Amino acid sequence: MQRTEWYKNAVVYQIYPFSFYDADNDGWGDIEGIISKLDYLSELGVTAIWFSPLYKSPDYDYGYDISDYRDIDPKFGSLDDFKRMVALCHEKGIRVIMDIAINHSSIEHEWFKKAIADTESPYRNYYIIRQGRRTDKELLPPTNWDSTFTGSAWENIKGTDDFYLHLFCVEQADLNWENPDVRNEAAEIFNFWFDIGVDGFRLDVFNMFSKVYPLQDSKKRLMGTGSEFYIDGPRMHEFLRELNEKCFSKYDSYTVGESYQPHKEDAKAYVDVNNHELDTIFNFGHLDSDNVAKFIKVPFNLRKFKDGLFGPQKESFGSGWNTLVLENHDNARSNARFGIDPKKYHYEASTMLPAITFLGFGTPFIYMGEEFGMTNVRFPSVDDCKDPVTHFIYHMFRKFHLPKSYVLKCVNYGARDMARVPIRWDNSVNNGFNAGAKPWQDPCEPLVDVSLENDLKSEKSVFRFYQQVLKIKKTEKAAVYGNITELDHDHKKIVAYLRELDHEGLFVCANFSAKPTKYTLSEEVLKRNPKLILTNYDRTSLDAKLSLRPYEVLVAKF
């Protein structure tokens, strides 16, 4: 099949199905709820939807522990419901991107059940199972590796001396990608969904498929012990090329990989068109500019933000493609981060951020609720959080005798739960998420009382501003294909860049601070004679010498 590279002109909207819309009022979002909002997404300007996992799952990691890769979890609907949704999406010109976590499976998957039930089962080699180390006093794991979630990366198989590897939750057993049967299973799963009509995939933590063998101890670290043996492993590129040959290249498909702390050289190679691996990966360096390990708040560093935002754009331009993202199911809301006071500058920050991000080089990814300015919430207690990572971090911090009040502040700054509370559609019961049943996750009190209904009634509508940004992205070729030139990188308050194609293009400039900031346009900008086409204030023209107000953004065309 001829590949059209449709993703280069796409606007992708991510739905976390648990919290989008609960049509049958059972507390869980569902496929019928998604179907009911497709016209809304079309109105926004969405051309593709990325669905966080809809597969069967016991939900230890809320969808990312998959127990059946070929079926839909009943709380969301049925496989027939999914097929109907795919058809309706396609009728509206919306592509469908599925999420798949296949570095590991649920321990409730039939493969794993068979693997531990019989040491002679061929499924034993589907997982990374090793004998522990006996001492005079205890049975130790095969290596000293840490899980990224919950302490040791190894879990003992009860009644034996054997352990299985789990780089995430203990309920998520790592698959053995060295086994060709596992790779064949993966290829068949991709093709199963492609044949149903799915247009692409987001591959969860894909760059951990390949491990370094033989497995060995690592130098002990406070966190991440062993990571040098499972990030960007020696066969990573080989495995991706194999998947590309067996699956991705056979369809008019799109792939985006979630890379876990990738090495710079590997990150570039994964998306190099000549390597035939993935179309894009996510780069999150800019999202690390105000925190350590997400939970620990540090002073915002704009230059670090710009390094993370523009670095991948420059590195992939001409050899691959890029992604542009502010939020997702793993990150707190952007308008309550980066030194921003969301109560004082909610509209200004919620509009400045997408303008500077989505008009760059790459495909925009919008996380549900972001388009009307949803903010973080206040969790009164860690018990109000569902995410196992939040609980792991909370208890780990407490083991270091940090005060409960401080640790709860950390939770309320960076917990993944922030993005996973139900969407606030309107001002009715449960903010319109459903007809009144208790939601699976407590919506909690938001930092700013925002709903789509209120936003659309406001003269300063974040949703309407998103529409304008996306219209520019889709109608200006330079916003898609143009070269990117960053300006004034070392400026501590200003973000500025040019997009240019065939002597036409865009100039984007913003004051990324709460203080009024003077900025003089360079000769490089002035000689192009740009004309203002979008701003989040009441400015009508672009002057050579600007006094930019807090979080003011300007988009000009030349």
- Using alpha carbons, select from 99, 100, 117 the residue that is nearest to residue 108: 117
The H or E element containing residue 123 is none
Question: Which residues lie closer than 8 Å to 280 by C-beta, 6 or more apart?
Answer: 7, 254, 255, 256, 257, 271, 320, 321, 322, 323, 362, 363
Q: Give the model confidence (pLDDT) of 282-312 as tens digits.
A: 999 999 999 999 999 999 999 999 999 999 9
- As a whole number, mean pLDDT of residues 530-537 equals 98
* Cα 339–chain centre separation: 21
Q: Give the model confidence (pLDDT) of 153-187 as tens digits.
A: 999 999 999 999 999 999 999 999 999 999 999 99
- Residue 14 DSSP code: E
Q: How far, in Å, CA of 198 to CA of 266, rounded?
A: 27
Q: If pLDDT is split at 50, 70 and 90, which confidence band does 509 have?
A: very high
Res 452: pLDDT: 98
* Contact in structure between 296 and 335 (CB atoms under 8 Å): no
- Using alpha carbons, select from 90, 96, 89 the residue that is nearest to residue 37: 89
Question: Which residues lie closer than 8 Å to 444 by C-beta, 6 or more apart?
Answer: 377, 378, 379, 380, 384, 421
Burial of 486 (0-12, 13-18, 19+ CB in 10 A): middle
- As a whole number, mean pLDDT of residues 365-374 equals 98
Res 181: pLDDT: 98
Kindly report the pTM of this predicted structure. 0.97
- As a whole number, mean pLDDT of residues 422-445 equals 97
Q: Got the DSSP string for 33-68?
A: HHHHTHHHHHHHT--EEEEPP-EE---SSTTSS-SE
Active-site residues, by number, are: 204, 258
Tell me the residue type at 12: V
Q: Give the model confidence (pLDDT) of 337-350 as tens digits.
A: 999 999 999 999 99
Res 223: pLDDT: 84
Q: Give the model confidence (pLDDT) of 479-503 as tens digits.
A: 999 999 999 999 999 999 999 999 9
- As a whole number, mean pLDDT of residues 386-412 equals 94
Structure tokens at 241: 């090329």
Q: How far, in Å, CA of 340 to CA of 359, rounded?
A: 21
